Amino acid sequence: MAKHVFAACAEEHSDSAATGLSGCACTDKSAQSATCSQSAGLNAMTDPYRGPQSSSGFELNQPTIISLLYLASFITGITGIVGVVLAYVWGGQPKANWETSHYAYHIRTFWFGLIGFVVGAILSLILIGFLVMLATGVWVAVRSVMSLLNAQKRLPMPNPQTLLF
């Protein structure tokens, strides 16, 4: 790879002498271009500090799909069930550590959200249930969005066993 990098830098800057290799080591640093840095493997796709990145701005990984299904359940009503089934199925398969925390987080979000809506429906007979259902809906939405944001960054959920956000 070092010869390839050297050759790419030499071709890019044929008028300047490219000596030594430290990534892309052109002597004329002001003339160093994106081609040199990409040939050295320093582009955003393979940056070792960021991990594998998607070329688009939005990555549709499995925890993201579950979060989107939970959010869509506010409109359709049924996609939350599909989301929890997928969380159980995908959670049983070996995955990266950051993904396993999301599955536990999603499963807890579904079951405690369902309990909150049932309690709210029962309490709606005395008119306080609507507030309970509203609070539960906000709680589920915030947890889904937080999981969605962390899944896009490929970060684990900080404490998947908590009932807080």
Rounded to an integer, the average pLDDT of 70-85 is 95
pLDDT-derived band at 77, boundaries 50, 70, 90: confident
Amino acid at 88: Y
Choose between 13 and 113: higher pLDDT: 113
Q: Please state, as a whole number, how many other Cβ atoms lie within 10 Å of the Cβ of residue 27.
A: 13
Per-residue confidence at 37, pLDDT binned at 50, 70, 90? very low
Q: Are 79 and 113 in contact (CB under 8 A)?
A: no
Query: What pLDDT, on a 0 to 100 scale, did the predictor assign at position 52?
Result: 52
